[in-house]
Amino acid sequence: MCECCGGESAVRMVLLGAPGAGKGTQASAMQQRWGLVHVASGDLLRDNVKNDTELGRKAKPYMEAGELVPDDLILDMMEERLARPDAQSGFVLDGFPRTLAQAEALDARLETMGQRLDAVIYLRVSEEEILRRLSGRLICPQCHAVYHADTMPPKRPGVCDRCGTALVQRSDEDPEVVRKRLQVYEEQTAPLVEYYRSRGLLHEVDGAIGVDRVLAKIASILEAAAKRVGAREPQ
């Protein structure tokens, strides 16, 4: 593997699943454990909204309504993010792609750079479980860590374990907006499961078996992918 750019052997993955399936939690664990850069389109957008950038101002109304931000805005943002040096030695995408147009644009972009996706992990979770998870979710607006009031509480109530920032509830997690986000997921993102299955990239993982067991399953998928591309294996 090329030390400076990651070269041909970097592992590139997508985490697919409904809102609340555990993509953010798993991607952040993958970053901590294997050093894969976690690129979350929702976090990038929330940072833009927080910093009141032009992109943030354009994206905010869609996000607050539980709708998808238009593809052209997302593709520009992701193009810029994936071009940064840290993404050259492998990444795990969380929340992107979310439409067929985004998936095709990602394939085309990787192809022009002589790269390809190595695996897509689909975290499968029932709608009932999703609703339960989203209702108690808390996030850190600073480092993007995710908690749950009942199942994964922070050590000190309301405070991020990692960076000490006050935790907040996402503004798009009131029940009405959550319902809309799930509907949008079914209509626009769920078809990506078949898109990636037909390309032989899809690995289904039951997302309801607990954070550690999900991560163990991801570890073996990642290990096989890393072997295939000659990247370093999980420690």
From 40-48, 193-201, 212-220, 224-232, give the range in contact with ligand AMP by CB under 6 A: 40-48
From 67-75, 125-133, 194-202, 223-231, give the range in contact with ligand AMP by CB under 6 A: 67-75
- Does 23 participate in catalysis according to the annotation? yes
Q: What 3 state SS string does the chain have?
A: CCCCCCHHHCCEEEEECCCCCCHHHHHHHHHHHHCCEEEEHHHHHHHHHHCCCHHHHHHHHHHHHCCCCCHHHHHHHHHHHHCCHHHHHCEEEECCCCCHHHHHHHHHHHHHCCCCCCEEEEEECCHHHHHHHHHCEEECCCCCCEEECCCECCCCCCECCCCCCECECCCCCCHHHHHHHHHHHHHHHCHHHHHHHHCCCEEEEECCCCHHHHHHHHHHHHHHHHHHHCCCCCC
* The binder of ligand AMP chosen from 6, 17, 22, 42 (CB under 6 A): 42
Dist CA 156 CA 82 (whole Å): 35
Q: Is 19 in the site for ligand AMP (CB under 6 A)?
A: yes
According to DSSP, the residues that pair with 138 across neighbouring strands are 147
* The binder of ligand AMP chosen from 1, 7, 62, 124 (CB under 6 A): 62
Binding mask of the shown chain, residues 100 to 129, with x at each position contacting ligand AMP by CB under 6 A: --x---------------------------
Pick between residue 3 and residue 52 the one whose CB is nearest to ligand AMP. 52
Least separation in angstroms between residue 42's CB and ligand AMP is 2
Q: Is 69 in the site for ligand AMP (CB under 6 A)?
A: yes
* The binder of ligand AMP chosen from 63, 120, 160, 182 (CB under 6 A): 63
Of 137, 156, 162, 197, which residue is the catalytic one?
A: 137
- Does 162 participate in catalysis according to the annotation? no
Q: Is 98 in the site for ligand AMP (CB under 6 A)?
A: yes
Q: Is 74 in the site for ligand AMP (CB under 6 A)?
A: yes
Handedness of CA 215, 204, 93, 7 (dihedral sign): positive
* The binder of ligand AMP chosen from 17, 90, 95, 207 (CB under 6 A): 95
- Does 133 participate in catalysis according to the annotation? no
Which residues of this protein are in contact with ligand AMP, per CB under 6 A? Answer: 19, 41-42, 45, 62-63, 66-69, 74, 95-96, 98, 102, 172, 181
